[in-house]
Amino acid sequence: MFKRLLLVAAVSFAVGQILVFGIRVAQGRSLFPSFEANRRSNHIEDVLRIVNENYVREVDASFDKLSDAALNGMLRSLDPHSEYMSQKEFRDLQAETSQEFGGIGVQIEMRDGSLIVVAPIAGTPGERAGMMRGDLIVRIDDRLVEKISMDDCLDLLRGHPGSQVILAISRPRTGETFERTIVREVITVDNVHDVQMLTELIGYVRIIQFGERTGDEFAEALKVLDNDGMQGLILDLRDNPGGLLDAAVDVAEPFFDRGELIVYTEGREQNSRQEIRSKNNHPRRDFPLAVLVNSGSASASEIVAGALRDTQRAVIVGETSFGKGSVQTILPLRNNDAVRLTTALYYTPGGETIHGEGVDPHIPVTLSAADDRKLTIQRNRMDGLSVEEFVEQFGFEPIPDRQMGAALDALRGLILATESLRVTKRAAGA
């Protein structure tokens, strides 16, 4: 009997050791998290089934609607930038970042329930169809504009290149109402705007977002301004919501020597730091530079501004930027939908986090909400309008841009100081 008890105890001990070993192996191979995920997914499936079978309005409780809502809720609970994207939303994101989409090529805005043509883009189907600034789009195919949202209007205007859309258009200037059948084409959108010389020595470039071609557009803008005698530059990133990291690096790179750190990211894993360094093969541009930012400058805009600030390559003017410094990775799913998930945070070359903090200006110039709204309209709508037309359309006279004025003053001083230093060096060499 005693021997039998010893045998049972020995077997129990051996089984226990095997179980401990198995647990350790499972932990090492992350098998328990998979088990936990399966257990919780079964629980979620039970809830989906119960809601689908019992909710009072059957049309609102389809499995597709419930699962989409569950996925959205799960990801939104993490942070405002993580999200589930349907097939359509994923396609729209790809079109937005590529700067190309199928459409008619007009800039539009919704005002008091009316869809107004801000301007047709040169060389597009909308311009060739004779659409003009101030036209009202009354109907898109068989949908009356007054009954649908701005997003719905954009969806209806966009489509596959080669497809047709029928627009009913009202022209308030003449009282005409007419229809146009327009064939959609691939529309290419420029992100670098308003390339010009503000003074004999100071150039100006505005970047409205960072897309696939922004780096090339910016390089071309610098060439144009170089030919005009530029000795200092104002880079306007106000109300720029960001975009692609690669595009931000492309814009910052001309101001960095090869190998210099522009930005780095860190995720939750140890040794996850990834550094992005300049690949510039040319001498870096060292002329005086001012960067304009405000609370609407986010993400890629903040990467550019933070890199230039930390390395003392630019004076930052305006307001503290938005503070969106997290890395979203797009993870495609098997049904052609996708997950946008925050996987890391951005840090400036000096080790400062952007997320939740923003980039502080060297020269703070804070605007009231009313002035900020007016200047936003001026930046986007003054092109091609006389002052009288502008006042008639928007109801106020253009106001001075105090942030731009501060940037100009800063650059004038830097250009004078740079020239004085050169003179001193030449005199010392003589």
Residue % of the chain over a pLDDT of 70: 88
State which CATH number among 3.40.50.300, 3.90.226.10, 2.40.50.140, 3.30.110.30 fits the domain covering 192-419: 3.90.226.10
The residue type at 4: R
DSSP 145: G
* CATH numeric code, 101-188: 2.30.42.10
Beta bridge partners of 203: 197, 233
Residues found in the chain: 430
Characterize 7-16 residue by residue with b for buried, 16 or more Cβ atoms within 10 angstroms of its Cβ, and e for exposed: eeeeeeeeee
pLDDT value of residue 199: 96
Cβ-contact 126, 180 below 8 angstroms: no
Q: What is the dihedral of CA 16, 19, 20, 26, to 10 degrees?
A: 180
Cβ-contact 187, 102 below 8 angstroms: yes
Cβ-contact 99, 191 below 8 angstroms: yes
Residues marked active site are found at 299, 310, 324
pTM of the model: 0.73
pLDDT digits (tens, 9 = 90+) for 237-283: 998 888 889 999 999 999 999 999 999 999 988 889 999 999 999 99
pLDDT value of residue 21: 38
pLDDT value of residue 101: 66
**42 exposed, middle or buried (CB, 10 Å; 0-12, 13-18, 19+)?**
exposed
User: How many secondary structure helices (H) and strands (E) does the chain include?
Assistant: 12, 19
Could you tell me where the beta strands, DSSP code E, fall in 249-404? Answer: 261-266, 274-277, 289-293, 315-318, 326-332, 338-347, 363-364
| 421 vs 407: CA distance, rounded Å | 21
Domain spans of the chain, in order of start: 101-188, 192-419
pLDDT reading at 27 higher than 80: no
Average pLDDT on 145-150 reads: 87
pLDDT-derived band of residue 13, with 50, 70 and 90 as boundaries? very low
Cβ-contact 284, 254 below 8 angstroms: yes
pLDDT digits (tens, 9 = 90+) for 280-290: 999 999 999 99
For residue 380, how many other CB atoms are within 10 A of its CB? 16
Average pLDDT on 16-25 reads: 39
Cβ-contact 362, 309 below 8 angstroms: yes
Among 213, 255, 203, 212, which Cα is nearest to 94's? 212
More confident call, 94 vs 173? 173
pLDDT value of residue 14: 41
More confident call, 381 vs 125? 125
DSSP 353: B
The residue type at 51: V
Average pLDDT on 45-74 reads: 88
Beta bridge partners of 114: 111
| 26 vs 296: CA distance, rounded Å | 48
Residue % of the chain over a pLDDT of 90: 47
